[in-house]
Amino acid sequence: MILTVTLNAALDVTYHVDALVPRASHRVGESFSRAGGKGVNVARVLSTLGVPAVVTGLVGGPTGRAIRDDLRVAELTDELVPMAGDSRRTVTVVSREDGDATVFNQCGPHVDTAVWTTFVARFTRLLRGAQVVVLSGSLPPGVPADAYARLTRLADDAGAMTVVDAGGPTLLKALGAHPTVVKPNAAELTEATGHDDAATAARSLRELGAGSVVASRGPDGLLAVTPEGTWRATPPRRLAGNPTGAGDACVAAIAAGLLAAEPWPAVLREAVALSAAAVVCPLAGDIDAGLYHQFRTSVPVERTHAPVDH
Amino acid sequence: MILTVTLNAALDVTYHVDALVPRASHRVGESFSRAGGKGVNVARVLSTLGVPAVVTGLVGGPTGRAIRDDLRVAELTDELVPMAGDSRRTVTVVSREDGDATVFNQCGPHVDTAVWTTFVARFTRLLRGAQVVVLSGSLPPGVPADAYARLTRLADDAGAMTVVDAGGPTLLKALGAHPTVVKPNAAELTEATGHDDAATAARSLRELGAGSVVASRGPDGLLAVTPEGTWRATPPRRLAGNPTGAGDACVAAIAAGLLAAEPWPAVLREAVALSAAAVVCPLAGDIDAGLYHQFRTSVPVERTHAPVDH
């Protein structure tokens, strides 16, 4: 089973307007909401692939209830831990005129120590059934800054592999606990290491403690720096759209690959195909099944270096 | 007692962002929510003035619960009727850079016939204690297009006066039931009558059935066309800001004036002072007490015509 952690779970709300005009009053024609946060999106993709996934993290208040109601509709296993305060929302305003999206992310309510302790106990119990743990997204206020390092160590103690998808200090602090894979995007890679060159930056993250680094570089595809070697995998066509959805689909492919003990070239091919099938979908967590099946046999994966020494 | 009706009650949510940039992803620093909808705002102003007000209308779902929780915090008497579906939200995005506000209004859930019937029964019961009824704002889908005409007739049968604040077909259909006062703004006045000149347009609304017409014209103040005569009342200083708050404060002053049987010049002076004290407040329903007390003795009210014949 793959356990996905979403400490900052959200209700993702989409508003459709004719056109977004700053300073104007807009009539919202339709609105649509569903459970979100990166870990929830990853579980949704895994569920679509038929891979068993369990969702944990923190939720609270009426928005938390709406998140849980939607997980039930999506038939995702809900092991979220209740907290005080109301879960955050993200509002995405989509313009009918040009399809462009403008996003507003709330930061989420403050998490107190007692809730964090309860969460850690639940996480530890869930590890008994987990082979892979996915730690995705931002940390809400009140959660320790080294939360992903602590959870990575607990997973490691229980014999589970870990995938960390975060940026900034949250990523850097996780590295000390030696996560199996980290998946920064290009901006996170540069921010964390100061290096503009993806290969140099990825090697530097491995030196800081990551087992493998899979850097997602938008339409340029993936660069993986691993103990088994370095690979580049590129989408056969350039597709633009929803970068959040693409990143979460990539993480789902990596987690599924670790669970099935697939070799890196197969994992990367799957990750690029799933990302491309997700980037065209307006809602993160969705994939275009036709594109996925078309791409998963046609993604070029190129080995670029000899295996890197430990 | 003044009964305010908000058929499309909302949770008004304010997001603070550094600057609103279309197509970008924004981190929302603080967010703030409270019960809204025009009738709720009017009741809030009346309550600040010490005038007894009761809030009725329709609410539902978790957002409806948040609206009711906030009414309790504000100590407003809650006679809202439950409906299926989740109450709407309005999201106002305020830019820290320039203070500008961009508003997204959901249209609200569909109201079924049974809920409308229950509401009419509750409204009829509440009329027993009401001297003035305020019918404010848009109608949610499913409510009859002539809802304000029906409620105006019921109020009239019970001996209560009515103030209607609405635009478009909702306003036009209400006129046939002869509401005591209608309060269109300049755009609503032109839209309803086709006349650009406020005095001509207001006279035309009286011909269609309104007892008196108080037209709000932003910084140009108010024009009242009544059976007792026509007056213009202008703010002593030009103030810009929150037009929703100003309109709702104006309606509160008109309703309070009807309740106290004040002559029109006194009602209009109070309405301009309250509107000016509201326009500077970022949240509709709030007034700046200092400005209010400064303005209520210094608003010039000018009689412009002899009494209009019935």
Per-block mean pLDDT, blocks of 10 residues, chain A (310 long): 97 93 89 93 97 97 94 97 94 87 91 97 98 96 97 98 96 97 95 93 97 94 96 88 87 98 97 93 88 91 68
Both structure tokens of A163: 């995938």
Task: State how far the Cα of A201 lies from the Cα of A195, in Å rounded to an integer.
Answer: 5
What's the DSSP call for residue A179? -
Helices B264-279 & B243-259 angle (0-180, nearest 10): 150
ipTM for this model: 0.82
Residue owning tokens 């900052």: A8
Enumerate the residues of chain B whose CB falls inside 8 A of the CB of residue A22.
20, 22, 95, 100, 102
Angstroms from B107 CA to nearest CA on chain A:
7
Strands B77-82 and A229-233: unpaired
Helix (H/G/I), strand (E/B), else coil: B166: coil
Contact A26 B105 (CB under 8 A): yes
Contact B65 A66 (CB under 8 A): no
Closest-CA residue to A184 (of A151, A208, A157): A208
Angstroms from B167 CA to nearest CA on chain A:
15
Closest-CA residue to A92 (of A295, A244, A254): A244
Q: The sheet that has A53-59: what strands, in order across it?
A: A77-82, A53-59, A2-6, A132-136, A161-165, A181-182, A212-216, A222-226, A229-233, A301-305
Q: Which residues have C-beta within 8 Å of that of residue A103, sequence separation ≥ 6?
A: A90, A91, A92, A93, B24, B25, B26
Contact A102 B31 (CB under 8 A): no
Task: State how far the Cα of B248 lies from the Cα of B279, in Å rounded to an integer.
Answer: 10
Task: State how far the Cα of B70 lies from the Cα of A78, in Å rounded to an integer.
Answer: 30
Residue type, B65: R
Question: Looking at the domain A2-11+36-87+108-305, which fold is it?
Answer: UDP-N-acetylmuramoyl-L-alanine:D-glutamate ligase (3.40.1190)
Which of B23, B28, B95 lies closest to A106 in CB terms? B28
Q: Please tell me the predicted confidence (pLDDT) of residue A306.
A: 53
Enumerate the residues of chain A whose CB falls inside 8 A of the CB of residue B103.
24-26
Instruction: Report, as an integer, the average pLDDT of B15-25.
Output: 92
Instruction: Report, as an integer, the average pLDDT of B79-91.
Output: 95
Helix (H/G/I), strand (E/B), else coil: B49: helix
Residue A123: how many other CB atoms lie within 10 Å: 22
Hey, of A93, A104, A110, A138, which one would you mutate to test binding to chain B, going by the most B CBs within 10 A of its CB? A104
Please state the domain extents for chain B.
2-8+36-64+75-86+108-305
- Between the CA of residue A101 and those of A95, A98, A104, A243, B95, what are the distances in Å? 7, 9, 10, 11, 18
Enumerate the residues of chain B whose CB falls inside 8 A of the CB of residue A102.
20-26
Which of B25, B62, B105 lies closest to A105 in CB terms? B25
Hey, of B11, B91, B94, B98, which one would you mutate to test binding to chain A, going by the most A CBs within 10 A of its CB? B91
Strand blocks (E) in chain A? 2-6, 10-17, 25-28, 31-36, 53-59, 77-82, 88-95, 101-106, 132-136, 161-165, 181-182, 212-216, 222-226, 229-233, 301-305
Residue A110: how many other CB atoms lie within 10 Å: 13
Q: Please tell me the predicted confidence (pLDDT) of residue B31.
A: 83
Phi, psi of B28 (to 5 degrees): -90, 110
A102: left (phi over 0), alpha (psi -120 to 50) or beta: beta
Which of A15, A17, A62 lies closest to B65 in CB terms? A62
Active site residue A248: yes
Phi, psi of B228 (to 5 degrees): -90, -10
Residue type, B226: T
Contact B20 A25 (CB under 8 A): no
Helices A147-157 & A168-175 angle (0-180, nearest 10): 30
Q: Which residues have C-beta within 8 Å of that of residue A227, sequence separation ≥ 6?
A: A211, A212, A307, A308, A310
What would the 3-class secondary structure string for B243-270 be? HHHHHHHHHHHHHHHHHCCCCHHHHHHH
Instruction: For residue A63, give the chain B residue with the closest CA.
Output: B62
Residue type, A306: A
Both structure tokens of A18: 């004719």
Contact B31 A65 (CB under 8 A): no
Phi, psi of A49 (to 5 degrees): -80, -5
Angstroms from B188 CA to nearest CA on chain A:
15
Task: State how far the Cα of B302 lies from the Cα of B264, in Å rounded to an integer.
Answer: 11
Closest-CA residue to A278 (of A46, A1, A101): A46
Enumerate the residues of chain B whose CB falls inside 8 A of the CB of residue A34.
none
B82-112 per-residue burial string, b: 16 or more CB within 10 A, e: under 16:
ebebbbbbbbbbbbeeeeebbbbbbbbbebe
Contact A21 B107 (CB under 8 A): no
Contact A29 B107 (CB under 8 A): yes
Q: Please tell me the predicted confidence (pLDDT) of residue A237.
A: 85
Strand blocks (E) in chain B? 2-6, 10-17, 25-28, 31-36, 53-59, 77-82, 88-95, 101-106, 132-136, 161-165, 181-182, 212-216, 222-226, 229-233, 301-305
Q: Please tell me the predicted confidence (pLDDT) of residue A36.
A: 96
Task: Say if residues B174 and B155 touch (Cβ distance below 8 Å).
Answer: no
Question: Which position has the higher pLDDT, A310 or B240?
Answer: B240
Q: Please tell me the predicted confidence (pLDDT) of residue A239.
A: 80
| Res. B276 pLDDT band, cuts 50 70 90 | very high
- Between the CA of residue A185 and those of A152, A166, A188, A206, B216, what are the distances in Å? 20, 9, 5, 15, 53
Instruction: For residue A141, give the chain B residue with the closest CA.
Output: B29
Catalytic residue, chosen from A100, A248, A286, A288, is: A248
> Helices (DSSP H) in A84-138: which residue ranges?
113-126
Instruction: Report, as an integer, the average pLDDT of B261-289.
Output: 92
pLDDT at B310 over 50: no
What's the DSSP call for residue B185? B
Angstroms from A228 CA to nearest CA on chain B:
36
Q: Please tell me the predicted confidence (pLDDT) of residue A309.
A: 45
Closest-CA residue to A33 (of B102, B89, B95): B89
Q: Please tell me the predicted confidence (pLDDT) of residue B243.
A: 79
Contact B100 A65 (CB under 8 A): no
Task: State how far the Cα of A53 lies from the Cα of B48, in Å rounded to an integer.
Answer: 53
Task: State how far the Cα of A248 lies from the Cα of A278, in Å rounded to an integer.
Answer: 9
pLDDT at B121 over 50: yes
Instruction: For residue B106, give the chain A residue with the closest CA.
Output: A28
- pLDDT (tens digit per residue) in B131-140: 999 999 999 9
CATH 3.10.580.10 correct for B2-8+36-64+75-86+108-305: no
Contact A28 B103 (CB under 8 A): no
Residue A175: how many other CB atoms lie within 10 Å: 22
- pLDDT (tens digit per residue) in B164-190: 999 999 999 999 999 999 999 999 999
pLDDT at B242 over 80: no
Q: Which residues have C-beta within 8 Å of that of residue B293, sequence separation ≥ 6?
A: none
Angstroms from A153 CA to nearest CA on chain B:
30
Q: A101 pairs with which residues across the strands?
A: A94
Which of B63, B101, B104 lies closest to A15 in CB terms? B104
**DSSP string for residues in A234-265:** --SS---S-HHHHHHHHHHHHHHHHHTT--HH
Helix (H/G/I), strand (E/B), else coil: B102: strand
Contact B25 A100 (CB under 8 A): no
Sign of the Cα torsion A185, A187, A190, A191 reads: negative
Enumerate the residues of chain B whose CB falls inside 8 A of the CB of residue A23.
100-102
Contact A103 B65 (CB under 8 A): no
Residue type, B91: V
Instruction: Report, as an integer, the average pLDDT of B196-216.
Output: 96
Instruction: For residue B94, give the chain A residue with the closest CA.
Output: A23
Task: State how far the Cα of A201 lies from the Cα of A135, in Å rounded to an integer.
Answer: 21
| Res. B99 pLDDT band, cuts 50 70 90 | confident
